[in-house]
Structures are given as structure tokens and as C-alpha cells.
Amino acid sequence: MPLPLGEFELIQAIREEFQPLPGSQRHIGIGDDAAVIEGNLLITTDALSDGVHFLSEKIDFIDLGYKAMAVNASDIAAMGGYPTNVLLTLGLNQNITPEKISRLLEGFQQARKAFPFELIGGDTIHCETFFLSITMTGKPFGQPILRNGAKKGDFIYATGAIGDSGIGLNQMLGKMKHPLLDPEYFVQRHYRPVPRIDVIRTIVQNYEVHSCIDISDGLLADLGHIAEESGCGYFIEAGEIPISRKRIGPDFDKDPLYFTEFALGGGEDYELIIVSPETIDCETVRLETGTPLTPIGRITEDGFQVRFREKDLDLGKIRKGFRHF
Amino acid sequence: MPLPLGEFELIQAIREEFQPLPGSQRHIGIGDDAAVIEGNLLITTDALSDGVHFLSEKIDFIDLGYKAMAVNASDIAAMGGYPTNVLLTLGLNQNITPEKISRLLEGFQQARKAFPFELIGGDTIHCETFFLSITMTGKPFGQPILRNGAKKGDFIYATGAIGDSGIGLNQMLGKMKHPLLDPEYFVQRHYRPVPRIDVIRTIVQNYEVHSCIDISDGLLADLGHIAEESGCGYFIEAGEIPISRKRIGPDFDKDPLYFTEFALGGGEDYELIIVSPETIDCETVRLETGTPLTPIGRITEDGFQVRFREKDLDLGKIRKGFRHF
């Protein structure tokens, strides 16, 4: 969809125009997963609109409610924290029936069971296009983790499995080139991302963490954000990226690069990329949290290099990730 | 516009369903102008959508940007505070040209000059219907002022002039029954509400304040919110309500009730209703802040009574105010 300004250009323009006021405390703000105010309060906001992020005719509103909260909680997790409060804004039209609203609220409740928060306010308006806009606050387990702290030589880790969400979306759209052994798993992963709050807590409490981001735009795109903010490069061993091979089934080996590209360029996984100078005991993390943690590469001085089966991949096609409009 | 649930019913349903989690700190939340978190941080959110709150084809985007910030700052003022930070979410479509976005940002800057805040984050998405969703944080000058503190016998004060915004809107729509001496003033008042931060600071620093609300739904509707939350009633002397008589001109005296009804039932004035047990020296407040303050009635044990020229008004027609959808 053509827009006068892309998302990144617009954010950049706003960032330049709205420099901190003279004499004001310097905030960590525009450009990170969440802003930090009052020293240690995390705050983030995320909006979803009908026809762009979901189709109200097709999506189960329980899933929608859950996911809307989960993507915000994932931003909080990426700052090294846990959610505390939510402000909920709904732009409603006459197609959003009481039944749908009831299911939406049920989705919020399911999210609240998975990762507790208080719903403390919001706004409900009429809008021709249905949308949700959620603001979530959180508290860091230790210091807030920023994007800009990665240093040459740091290890890059990924939580869970990457690429599931993109595969699930393409499966629903009937666009997968290969059949999947467990298609429903991937669809569920698209609708039910799990904010990795437990993982980041365990790691923050035991290791030094230099940088963290959640994968919303795609692994390479989001790693690119870390690299840009930190002034560094990265090296990724694509064969090490955790991919749901068993659920994909036998076709994975027929076309491994095809599936690996979902991990590199697909978005909406909401897994964490964690950058640490330390060798993290991934097995202990998995035992404590139930979530796998996998080393996938290193931070370098500059440049972006992705190896796959001893060859460098051409990043031009892959790296763009999903641009949200 | 018919909706399955009205705004108030929906908020009530959410309020009931999302009780605070067991063991959680009790928050002041859903139902007040802003929520209070972390003891003394105010947080509020307000959304505006094209075709409902403004017409993107007609409105000057400088005004839109200013007003979007002003209505949030007014909520913060109604809690007895001043703004600190803003998260800005824009739902954009291809009709929102770079020129319009540039004017919108200019409006934000004008707002920031009138009442300083930092823009610390947000989200930009594609949405078929253009909307803005703003979350603003603030700090109270003293203790946060809630809606539920009004007590029998308290004095009710209003800042500025009431009804201007509704008159301005009806003037633009060509619906005024009487000509206005200074129509442009009223249109400006509709687009350029002034959050009464200075007034509430002056009063909080010198007087006890039991309750406060900003007039968004209409004076009687908003006073009704105070009454409901506080479990009390009110008596209003409608002839005392500050109305811009000089700007209305000679037609005011031909039909005073017509203009007074804009003050009682119109919305979007963003003046403050301040409830205090004390006799406030309104002239000193006006000298210090440049904004008039006027006593307009008293808090009563129960019931709603509005006197106008020694008769009781029928509130049925008037009290509804504006319902936002």
C-alpha cells in the first residue's frame, strides 16, 4: 500500500522534529521497543487495524484480543521487563457485534492469565475501520535493555523457533510451496505468539545482556535495528537458527533454504533476539522456562553476513522483512 | 451511529470483567479522566477518527494536531496535574499527504509550546480510516484529584467560558438559529481548546479541591459523572454559568435559554469543573492565570436541579450531552 512516507522515514522525521525540550531529562524513547520514563517505567504502544493486520471477517476475536496484548507484552519483554498496566483504545463500527466484543474481551482475559496486567483505562470511539490501540506499561527485571548496547564479539541468541508465524500466515493464504506435516501448529503460532518474559527474566538474573529486540519485522530486519543503533554488524549462521523442522516434516530437507528464508525475513514471530557477551547455558534456560534458547551468530564490527551451508546468502531479497505499510 | 453497545455500557462491561488481579495494588483506573499508577503518575489516552471527530477533507491539520494533544492535556489537568510525555499512534491512509502530516506535526509543536511535553514513542500503521490515538502521562501538582470526592455543600466552579465549542461547531455546520457577533471566535474555541493547567495549579496550591473533571461530554453530563462517582447531587444556577455573551452579541438577550443550552449540553469545551469546600477568590485566580473562574452552583445530597431565571429547567432534553458514538 503506497503511503507518502514509509513507517521508518516518518518515525525518523518525527524523531528529528521532536528533540527533547531544553532542560528536560534525556529520555530513552523513539526507536526502541518501549520508552523508559521515570527512571524505570517501561511504556509501549501498538495498534492493529482491520484489513491490514487482520481481517475482522475471518479472525477469531479471541485470538485477536490475545495477540493484541501479546505483541505489546513482547515489546516489554524485549526491554528486559514484565507488563504491569494496559490502556485499551477501541475504534468500533457497526460490524463489531456484541458477540465479537465479548470474544475480544475473552482474548484479553486469556492474555492476562498468560502474563498478568491490570486494565486501567482507555477510550472507545466510533471509527469506520475497526482498530485497536493498546498502551502497555511494564517494569524491568534489572536495568532496561536497550537496542544500542551490542558490542563486537557479543553472542547472538534466539528464543523459541523462528519463522513459524510467517509459515502459518502463508499456509492460511494458500501460498506455501511445500506441504506441512502440522499446518495447524504454524497457524496457531501466527495467532498466539508467546511473549518471552520468563526467558528474559532468567537471563537477566544470571547473565549480562547488552541488547535485546523482539522479532516483529523479521529476524534480519530486527537484527539490523540492533546493528544500526549499536553501530556494529552481525554474522549469522543460518543453519543454526531454530526452525520447527519436525513440524514442517520431510519437505524441509527437499528445500531447506525456502524454509530458512521464513526465519530470516518473515515477521511477527515475537521471539527475542538476545545479545550477550557471555556464553549462556541454553540447556538450563530451557529447563527453567520451557523455552529453547539457541546461539545463532555473533556481533561484528560492521557488515551483515549470513552463512548457510558454507555459502554466504544474498541478503538483498531477504533482509527487507515486513514493512508494516 | 448505532453501535451494539454504547460507550458507557461498554466501559461498564469492561470495568466489571477486568477487576484488579488478586494481590495487586488497587489502582485508580477505568472511569476517571486519567489513571494513577506508581503512586503519582497520571496516564490517559484519547483517540480521534476521521468522519466522527473531524473531517480530514475540511479540518486544518495544524488545528487537528493541536487539539489532539490539548484534549489529552485537559484530562491530565482534570486530575490536578501537568503533562510530561506522549506516545503518538497514527493510522494513516493514502489521502493523508506529506503536506498534511507536516501540518499535523506543526500542530503538535504548537501544542508543545503551549503546554510542554516530550514525544517519547508511538506507532504508525496503515488504516483505511485515518485516526490518531494519543497516550499522555503527567504528574499531579499535589495529590491526584478524583471524580469521586465531591461532598454535600461543596462549591462548584467553572473555568473560562462554557458552550463556546458547541456554538462554534454549530456555526460551522450552519445550524445556529441566531447570528453571532464574532463567529470566528467560536470556531477557534472549537478547534483550539486550552487545557487549564495553570488554573488547576493555582487552585491546588491554595485551596482544598474535592473533585474535578473537564467538560468533554457537556457540563451537565460531566457534572453527572462527578455526582455518580461521588454519590451526590448538584444544584446549578444556569444564569451564573460563564457564557461568551459579548461575542454572541445582541441576540443573546433575544433568546438567552437557547445559548445557555449550549453551555449545559454542548461538549468539547475542555474547561474544568472544580469542586471545592472553600470559597475560592476567583478574581485572584483570574489575575494570576488570565482565566476567569466562576462559581456556578453547589453539590447537594442527591438530585439534579438547574435553575434559570427563577425556574427549574427540564433536564431531560439537555442532560444527555454529546455521546461520542
pLDDT given at position A321? 45
Specify the DSSP element, H or E, that contains B171. Answer: helix B164-172
* pTM, to two decimals: 0.91
Rounded to whole angstroms, how far apart are CA atoms A244 and A247?
6
Q: What does the pLDDT average to over B162-185?
A: 96
Question: 137-196 in B: which are within 8 Å (CB) of A?
Answer: 137
The dihedral formed by the CA atoms of A207, A212, A216 and A218, expressed in degrees to the nearest 10: -90
- Rounded CA-CA distance A122/A87 in Å is 5
pLDDT value at B316 more than 90 = no
Side chain identity at residue A86, one-letter code: V
Q: How far apart are CA B140 and CA A137, in angstroms?
A: 19
Q: Which of A209, A208, A191 is nearest to A78 (CA)?
A: A209
- Residue B3 is predicted with a pLDDT of 46
Instruction: List CB contacts (< 8 A) between B49 and chain A.
Output: 91, 125-128
Closest-CA residue in chain B for A118? B20
ipTM of predicted complex: 0.88
pLDDT band at B216 (very low <50, low <70, confident <90, very high): very high
For A252: left if phi > 0, alpha if psi spans -120 to 50, otherwise beta; the answer is alpha
In chain A, what is the greatest distance between 2 CA atoms, to the nearest angstrom?
61
Parallel/antiparallel/unpaired status of strands A41-49 and A81-92? unpaired
- Count Cβ neighbours within 10 Å for each residue of A265-301 and write b for 16 or more, e otherwise: bbbbbbbbbbbbbeebeeeebbebbebbbbbbbbbbe
CB A72 within 8 A of CB A171: no
Interface test with B, best of A119, A132, A136, A322 (most B CBs within 10 A): A119
For chain B, the maximum distance between any two Cα atoms, rounded to a whole number of angstroms, is 61
**Could B91 and A1 be called an inter-chain contact, meaning their C-beta atoms sit closer than 8 Å?**
no
Average pLDDT on A125-141 reads 97
Contact A51 B128 (CB under 8 A): yes
Residue B260 neighbours by CB under 8 Å, 6+ apart: B163, B238, B239, B241, B243, B308
Q: Is A122 left (phi over 0), alpha (psi -120 to 50) or beta?
A: left
Determine the pLDDT at residue B20: 76
Residues B60-89: pLDDT tens digits? 999 999 999 999 999 999 999 999 999 999
Residue A9: the pLDDT is 78
B91:A129 CB<8 A? yes
Which residues, 6+ apart, have CB-to-CB distance to B254 below 8 Å? B178
End-to-end CA distance of chain B: 6
Instruction: Judge whether residue B321 has pLDDT over 60.
Output: no
Which residue of chain B is at minimal alpha-carbon distance from A127? B49
**Count of CB atoms situated within 10 Å of the CB of A26:** 7
What pLDDT does A29 receive?
Answer: 60
Query: Looking at chain A from residue 39 to 98, which residues have their Cβ under 8 Å from any Cβ of chain B?
Result: 41, 43-53, 84-85, 87-94, 96-98
- Give the mean pLDDT of chain A: 91
The phi-psi region of residue B187 (left if phi > 0; otherwise alpha if psi is between -120 and 50; otherwise beta) is alpha
Question: How many CB atoms sit inside 10 A of residue B239's CB?
Answer: 13
Flag if A87 and B135 touch (Cβ within 8 Å).
Answer: yes
Residue A24 — pLDDT band, cuts 50, 70, 90?
Answer: low
Q: What is the mean pLDDT of chain B?
A: 91
What does the pLDDT look like over B264-308, one tens digit per residue?
998 899 999 999 999 999 999 999 999 999 999 999 999 999 999
Residue, of A113 and B1, whose pLDDT is higher? A113
Residue of A18, A24, A125 lying closest to B325 (CB–CB): A125
User: What's the confidence (pLDDT) of residue B25?
Assistant: 56
- The confidence score (pLDDT) of residue A14 equals 79
Interface probe, candidates B133, B322, B323, chain A, greatest A C-beta count within 10 A: B133
Listed residue (A278, A63, A240, A72) closest to A162, CA to CA: A240
Q: B10 to chain A nearest CA, in Å? A: 8
Task: Determine which of A30-44, B125-139, B213-227, B260-274 has the lowest per-residue pLDDT on average.
Answer: A30-44
Task: Quote the cell numbers at residue B134.
Answer: 494519543
A131 contacts B29? CB cut-off 8 A: no
pLDDT band at A323 (very low <50, low <70, confident <90, very high): very low
Locate B201 and state its grid cell. Answer: 495549579
CB atoms B47 and A133 under 8 Å: yes
Question: Which residues pair with residue A124 across a beta bridge?
Answer: A90
